[in-house]
Amino acid sequence: LFIVISPVLPFNNFAKSFIVVSGSMEPSIKTGSIAITRPIPPSQIKKGDIVAFTSPDNPKNTILHRIDSIKSTDPLIFLTKGDNNNTPDSWEVSSIAIIGSYVYSIPYLGNAASFIRQPLGFVLMIVVPALLFIFFQIFNINRAIDYEVNKKIEEKNRQNNFFSILIIALSLSSIIATSPIKNVNAFFSDTSQISGINLKTIIPTPTPTITPTATPTPKPTGYHCKFRDWHCNFGHHWFKDKFRAFLRKNHQYVRFNFFNFPKFGPKDYLNYELVYRSHDLEKGISGSFDLKNNSNLEIEQFLGTCSGTDCTPDFKSITSATLYIKGEINSEAIELEGPVDFE
């Protein structure tokens, strides 16, 4: 089995790699494989070991065969044979010709290594990928430069537009401030002759009545929802089947429940305010939901007036209750309102 030294695996100090170019060791070692050997003292070699050695017939060739027998121990002389050969080798191998002991082989990798060593293989496997890599790197660098240049141009254009608008506004303000415009009033005049007396009635121009225009209530950003049963679907389904608020008849308190609600991020928050009517008076409580470390949360709030340890519940006289929730989740504003269920 003739082999050639392979440059594929560069660890000659610890092991050597060879490209197998013949089939005398098949099926144990296939042609075109990369064979790995390690240094071994000749005295440790025994019958059946596969070793790489310098050919006794041609020192330029390296052979990988199995030890068929040990002819002598002083000096060490080995007889070898290829697994695919019918007869042992005709030569005798001395201990100084031993290069190393076979460890394992990598099938077909030697074919690729041999191809790379040829001019065409070197161009296709090394030069072309390197050129493609350099081309794509240059392309990415140029694209990044174009992006930065366009970004700078856009920023400069925005600054120029801002200063242009500012100059126009200042110019108009200066013209209006320095122009000779005065406030004047127009009057109606009526003169009558009565018994030699001039009567002049001066009627000022009536002041027009200006009807104020109602300013529409601004809508909150994000998601807004009004609902009856607190199973409202808005946007990302955060509250759908995950939140409920209800009034307990027997215990005079309101309860809030969260089920598998996503944990808040560092900037998320939800504040609430419950407004209810009791004895024809509007009352309320407020607070916040802390879901930073909890996905399931239950909060109970007493409804009534307390003085020291004495508390007077308002529940029996409550006629209506509305819950308001405001906050922010994932940088989106949340604003909800709706009636609270009675239980």
* Highest mean predicted confidence (pLDDT) among 71-75, 111-115, 128-132, 313-317: 71-75
Q: What is the pLDDT of residue 65?
A: 93
Q: What is the pLDDT of residue 229?
A: 42
8 Å CB contact between 18 and 62: yes
Q: Is residue 237 part of a domain?
A: yes
Tokens of 36: 């790995």
Which of 188 and 138 is assigned the larger pLDDT? 138
Residue 332: CATH number of its domain: 2.60.40.10
Q: Which domain holds residue 263?
A: 223-342
65, 100, 117 - which closes a domain: 117
Residue range 322-339, pLDDT digits in tens: 888 888 877 788 888 888
Q: Is residue 324 part of a domain?
A: yes
Q: What is the pLDDT of residue 187?
A: 40
- Range 15-42 average pLDDT: 86
Residue 76: CATH number of its domain: 2.10.109.10
Q: Is residue 203 part of a domain?
A: no
Residue range 12-23, pLDDT digits in tens: 567 888 888 888
Q: What is the pLDDT of residue 201?
A: 44
* Highest mean predicted confidence (pLDDT) among 78-87, 154-163, 222-231: 78-87
Q: Is residue 180 part of a domain?
A: no
Model pTM score: 0.35
Q: Is residue 66 part of a domain?
A: yes
Distance CA 272, CA 326 (A): 6
Residue range 177-205, pLDDT digits in tens: 555 544 444 444 444 444 444 434 444 55
Q: Which residue has the tokens 């598998």?
A: 260
Q: Is residue 147 part of a domain?
A: no
Q: Domain count of the chain? A: 2
Residue range 220-268, pLDDT digits in tens: 444 445 544 444 444 445 676 777 787 775 657 788 777 777 777 777 8
Residue range 280-326, pLDDT digits in tens: 788 888 888 777 767 777 888 777 777 666 677 766 677 778 888 88
Q: What is the pLDDT of residue 340?
A: 79
Count CB atoms within 10 A of the CB of residue 109. 17
Residue 92: pLDDT over 80: yes
Q: Is residue 319 part of a domain?
A: yes
Give the DSSP per-residue string, 248-275: ETTTTEEEEEESSPPPP-TT-EEEEEEE
Q: What is the pLDDT of residue 128?
A: 83
117, 144, 161 - which closes a domain: 117
Q: Is residue 233 part of a domain?
A: yes
Q: What is the pLDDT of residue 115?
A: 66
Query: How sure is the predictor about 105, in pLDDT bands with cuts at 50, 70 and 90?
Result: confident
Q: What is the pLDDT of residue 49?
A: 94
Candidate list 22, 28, 95, 114, residue with the active-site label: 22
User: Mean pLDDT across the chain, nearest whole number?
Assistant: 75
φ, ψ of residue 223 in degrees (nearest 5): -110, 135
The number of residues making up the chain comes to 343
Is residue 22 flagged as an active site residue?
yes
